Structure 1
Amino acid sequence: MVIAVCSGSFDPVTYGHLDIIARSARIFDKVIVAVLINSKKKSLFSVEERVELLRQATAGMENVEIDSFEGLLIEYMQKRGARVIVRGLRAVSDFEYEMQVASINKKLDEEVETFFMMTNNKYSYLSSSIVKEVASYKASVSDLVPPVVEKALKEKLGQ
């Protein structure tokens, strides 16, 4: 069984994230979507909220599991028996950074492979930061995030 991990902050999860998760789920036996706990980063949603939003957004994906972790991704993967890291790429600038991360991960564990997946063109501009910015101005984000996330954004931003 090939277990892949798709990690990130997912603050909040977008249709771009869900596209990568769904496509990964068609390729790998199991995909663990792992929310990184980073106490140094100021997030709009708590880790628990992000995990719950991801659970709801991926409810129909049978081989997708939602989890959270703290520390090195490689250590988390070793605990979970995962051998593949899935990373979505939007632009060439993403690749530069992701290549550095993949290289250090390979140095930490030679058995781990990083699988780069190009985002669907319709999501190439999309990021959680953009979603939060648009939502903060009370503009519609219905075509950027699932309804459960849109509702959570409105509640969080007091709209």
Structure 2
Amino acid sequence: MTIAVCPGSFDPLTRGHVDVVRRARGMFDEVVVGIARNSSKSALLGIDERVALARTALAGVDGVRVDVVEGLLADFVREVGADAIVKGLRGGADFDAELPMALMNRHLTGVETVFVVGDPALAHIASSLVKDVARFGGSIDDLVPDGVADAVHEAVRSKR
């Protein structure tokens, strides 16, 4: 059985993320969506809420589970027995950001990172942009899975 880890902060989970996870599932027997606490980012949504939203959004995808990455991705990859790490790419800037992490994870674990090119119809969707649109009262319903927009708008209201 082949296992892939699809890591990220997923703050919030977007339709682009779901697309990458679904396509990764077509390549691997199991995909573990690893939701990380990213120390370099200030999360809008708490880790428990991000996990719950991802579990709901991905509930209909067999062979996918959601878990929390507590520390280094390399340690998490070892813990779940992953054969690969899967990362989605929207463009060259994503590749430039992801390449050093892929090389470090390979150095630490021997596990390769597989890059999945995102659906061009979703390439404009980034979690940071979704949060910006929401902060200014814009609709994000078509950018995120069902239920996520309400959680984001509520988090934005509570942070004001």
The question of a shared fold, defined as TM-score above 0.5 by the shorter chain, is answered with yes
Q: After TM superposition, give the deviation of residue 138 of structure 1 in Å.
A: 1.2
CA distance in 2, matches of 1:40, 1:90: 21
Gap runs ≥5 in structure 1: none
- 1:108 corresponds to: 108
> What is the percent sequence identity of the aligned residues?
43
Letter of the 2:3 partner, please give it: I
- 1:130 corresponds to: 129
Letter of the 1:17 partner, please give it: H
Gap runs ≥5 in structure 2: none
Aligned Cα RMSD in Å? 1.3
Three-state SS of the structure 2 residue aligned to 1:56 is helix
Q: What is the TM-score normalised by the length of structure 2?
A: 0.94
Three-state SS of the structure 2 residue aligned to 1:53 is helix
1:62-141 to structure 2, matched below 5 A, reads 62-110=62-110, 112-141=111-140
Q: After TM superposition, give the deviation of residue 154 of structure 1 in Å.
A: 2.1
CA distance in 1, matches of 2:45, 2:54: 12
Q: What is the TM-score normalised by the length of structure 1?
A: 0.94
Paired residue total: 158
Letter of the 1:64 partner, please give it: V
Q: After TM superposition, give the deviation of residue 132 of structure 1 in Å.
A: 0.5
Three-state SS of the structure 1 residue aligned to 2:43 is coil
CA distance in 2, matches of 1:150, 1:141: 6
